[in-house]
Amino acid sequence: MSAQRSAVAAALAALTLLTATACSSDDGGDGPFDGGSPRSSAAGPSASPSGKGAEPPPEKGSAKVVRTLATGLKSPWGLAALPGGDLLVSSRDEGTIIRVDGSTGEKTEAGTVPGADPDGEGGLMGLALSPAYASDHMVYAYVTTESDNRVVRMLYDERKPSGQQLGAPDTVLKGIPKGVIHNGGRIAFGPDKLLYVGTGETGETGLAQDKKSLGGKILRLAPDGEPAPGNPFEGSPVFSYGHRNVQGLAWDEEKRLWASEFGQDTWDELNGIEAGDNYGWPEAEGKGDKGGFHDPVAQWKTSEASPSGIAYAKGSVWMAGLRGERLWRIPVRGVDGEPRTEAFLKEEHGRLRTVLAAGGGKLWLVTSETDSRGTPEKGDDKILEVEVE
């Protein structure tokens, strides 16, 4: 971290201590807007509780930035890898999708997503490619509009001129509650080829426990937006509930679903997600062994994490920290009990928003200094290539 960023960060930390309130943001309270181990697979009940029998990852891991792929990104949020290795990245505040060459880092604009209404923690957020992308060329996006949060899909035609490559958005699911804070935003297709959507409770804590609300949930949908077959609540897209603000989704090789979640004042969480389970918010934050609630697998002080994206690689979940400005490693393959977590890249690259597995021990890591909460320096924001073990 540069001297400038260190000084500003120290000042912000002192200010945070003086002005902390009971309503923290997607960054654990560092901005003006508020900042149990899995028993079975989210995609199939036959998975073992903790990867038992599988080779566990090394006790000590590593994470090294080997190059900066791209610079000059504005409020980057969602990230999706195209066949061939190029990347699509969304700009939360500008409502655009940029294509980044996976070798050279060259940037070209795919287009603007109409209807995006950036405000506070909302805007154009998560991206995902259709499971049938090779034939349908559909890109899915999580978008805040004037009235709600919703999931849309668009045809991506890279043969068209730059800036005109996105087709008109088709609404997949609408009616997800929106707010200045806690809009969730991460979307991902699982091993079952179903679409998972992480949402937030918009600061209205009661939504998380209301099974009829789409806020404070993980949703599971068919690609056309209908509730997925086999969902725990008949006719509903709700897959799990009792969440505060889910912004990270990833699966391991056993098809177990993991999700990162912002706490309020005390504990941020990594959860193992099971169909129909209640993850406790607002009655529980962090581990509490309260009856009826699913405890997190791991937890952190909000100052050390404020997590957004996660990815799975080398037997571990890798979790990007915003306020914590670090990359967390949480070994989960073959691990019984509470995993021993490690932090890497602490305060070296600023706030970290999104992490995406790129095969083997390679991750793409996106910084988040231009989202109104950071202290941007020359070149921000960036996509970094990271080697992990």
288-332 confidence digits (pLDDT tens): 877 899 999 999 999 999 999 999 999 999 999 999 999 999 999
Q: Residue 336 burial by CB count (10 A; 0-12/13-18/19+): exposed, middle or buried? A: exposed
**In the prediction, which pLDDT does 26 show?**
59
Strands (E), 305-375: 307-313, 316-321, 327-331, 342-344, 352-357, 362-367
Does position 50 have pLDDT exceeding 60, yes or no? no
**In the prediction, which pLDDT does 52 show?**
57
What is the rounded CA–CA span in Å between residue 192 and residue 182?
27
Rounded mean pLDDT, 225-249: 98
Does position 221 have pLDDT exceeding 90, yes or no? yes
From its phi and psi, is residue 201 left (phi > 0), alpha (psi between -120 and 50) or beta? Answer: alpha
Predicted confidence band at 230 (pLDDT cuts at 50, 70, 90)?
Answer: very high
**In the prediction, which pLDDT does 290 show?**
79
What are the pLDDT digits (tens) for 326-377?
Answer: 999 999 999 988 999 999 999 999 999 999 999 999 999 999 999 999 999 9
What is the rounded CA–CA span in Å between residue 307 and residue 300?
9
What percent of the chain is modeled with pLDDT above 70? 86
Predicted confidence band at 8 (pLDDT cuts at 50, 70, 90)?
Answer: very low
Mean pLDDT of the chain, nearest integer: 90
What is the rounded CA–CA span in Å between residue 13 and residue 30?
8
Predicted confidence band at 51 (pLDDT cuts at 50, 70, 90)?
Answer: low
Rounded mean pLDDT, 171-180: 98
Sheet holding 170-176, edge to edge: 124-129, 138-144, 149-155, 170-176
Cβ atoms of 221 and 228 within 8 Å: the answer is yes
Q: 28 in helix, strand or coil?
A: coil
